[in-house]
Structure 1
Amino acid sequence: MKDIDEIRRENLRLIEQERGGPAEAARIVNMSAAQFANLRDGAKDSKTGKPRGMRKETARRIEEAAKKPEGWLDQEHQASTVPPSPAPSVSENEVVIVQYEVGGGMDTRGKLLLEAEPPGIIKSWKVDREWLQLNVRSYTSLANLCIVTGFGPSMKGMFNPGDPLLMDRGVNRVDHEGVYFFRVGDEGYIKILQRVPEFNGPGFVLRVISKNKDDFPPYDISPKNPHLHIIGKILTVWKSEQY
């Protein structure tokens, strides 16, 4: 049976995978590359020769910085077998924002089970920096921007299946109401998530809201559900109209 420090080290490797490498992971959690590597690899104590443990306070600080739910580092998570999406390529005046490779919970095809398959996908956008400045005013980092293709009928009215959505994959917790791409187990969703106070407690639940409420009524899910993973926040949608 794995001990808590081994689980935490494995989860640091997941953060590294999500962020596209150790340098970005270290930056996100406000550490030097050497500090992050020591925690990830379990640097050995000079006296005992055993890997040093991670303090509880350090684990909570890392979770907060990496936008993970409290206690996330202490739980085992399934690693994606799909490589992380490449970061946008950047030149002096142009940015190429690429498609997010859907991964996480796996079915036999190596993808999330979506509520409906998108009718084709948009591979990338090439935009200039002025467009980015005018149209995407708030994001965690340029490297975290990616494209998700809209799928399913539940969000009709906001976007249609096949429409392009700009996502910030650096947002992995729900601090404010918004549209998020998330998974519960092997199922992937794009929905509005709203923080709602618990009826009998000081905490809150996440209300999952579809734009098409008549066919998809709202329901609640606990933010502490170990099967819930916030993949990213949708920043901008483009709704298509056929003429």
Structure 2
Amino acid sequence: MVEDLEARLKKAMARAGIDVARLARETGISYQGIRKQYDGKAKTMSAETAERIANVLGCDKHWLALGEGEPFPAPDVNPPAPTETPFLPGFEKLAVPLLANSGSMGDGDDDIGEEVMTGALPVSPEWATRTLKPTGLQNLRFIHGYGDSMKGTFEDGDILLVDIGVREPRIDGVYVLEANDRIYIKRVRQRMDGNYEVSSDNPKVRTVDVLDGSIEVKCRGRVLWAWNGTKL
């Protein structure tokens, strides 16, 4: 009897000792997407998804997606010696999820209350820990910033690395904020009277708002790094 997709996935996950949350994290696929496969609500699996999951679980991608072939390839008893080391010791890559959500630097973008992952970008965990000092490597996310109100600090469309473990702006910096069901990327500074001042960096469109408690504003994370793209 041929196992169905749900049974094959659960078998591979049990063998690898990996649960749904960890599989989602290590593949860069959304938790909801993995859960749908795990619960048997998805009857098929794309080749790309199968390859990403198989690489993490150590199973055969064709077996996982189609039920064909051997589920777990036999290990090579005489593997060839590596010709090069893709990452120096301590600089192995960390796959940071890239969210489909974006943050606006102007009038606000849609709510990112539910993370939707479109892929992952590699980052050195050694570099991230030493340079960025995040609350935790598992809290790092990539998003796109759109608009021109932060021009000069980063540009429209730049990829931003955000620490979603930061839920309160304890130090001055650039933060992802949620207000009125919209998402903003703004600079936040605490004044001496204790109130927070929210502003834009672009002097041409500079606006300053003081948070006095009349509007509920949530901190969704702190922007730690911006990848600035420059056309050459």
Q: TM-score, normalised by structure 1?
A: 0.50
Matches within 5 A, 1:26-175: 93-100=92-99, 102=101, 111-112=110-111, 123-136=119-132, 138-175=133-170
Quick one: structure 1 residues 152 and 102, their matched pair in 2 at CA, closer, same or farther if it must change by over 3 Å?
same
Tell me which of 216, 224, 227 is aligned to 1:235.
Answer: 224
Query: 1:102: Cα distance to partner?
Result: 3.6
Query: 1:241: Cα distance to partner?
Result: 1.3
Question: Tell me, what secondary structure is at the counterpart of 2:161?
Answer: strand
Question: Tell me, what secondary structure is at the counterpart of 1:159?
Answer: coil
* Partner deviation per Cα, 1:83-123 (whole Å, 9 max, x = no partner): 7999xxxx9922100123549xxxxxx9429xxxxxxx984
Q: Which runs of 5+ in 1 are unaligned?
A: 1-19, 22-81, 104-109, 114-120, 199-203
Quick one: structure 1 residues 173 and 101, their matched pair in 2 at CA, closer, same or farther if it must change by over 3 Å?
farther
* Partner deviation per Cα, 1:169-213 (whole Å, 9 max, x = no partner): 000111110100011111211010000133xxxxx2111111113
Matches within 5 A, 1:140-219: 140-198=135-193, 204-219=194-209
Task: Extract structure 1 runs of 4+ deviating beyond 4 A.
Answer: 82-86
| CA distance in 1: counterparts of 2:220 and 2:125, whole angstroms | 25
- The answer for the alignment partner of 2:48 in structure 1 is none
| CA distance in 1: counterparts of 2:119 and 2:157, whole angstroms | 12
* 1:164 partner amino acid: I
| CA distance in 2: counterparts of 1:84 and 1:196, whole angstroms | 41
Q: TM-score, normalised by structure 2?
A: 0.52
- The answer for the alignment partner of 1:24 in structure 2 is none
Determine which structure has more spread, i.e. the larger CA radius of gyration: 2
CA RMSD of aligned residues (A): 3.5
Alpha-carbon contact 2:128-2:134 (below 8 Å) kept: no
Alpha-carbon contact 1:196-1:207 (below 8 Å) kept: yes
Aligned residues: percent identity? 24
Aligned pair count reads 141
Q: Which runs of 5+ in 2 are unaligned?
A: 1-19, 22-29, 35-55, 57-89, 103-108
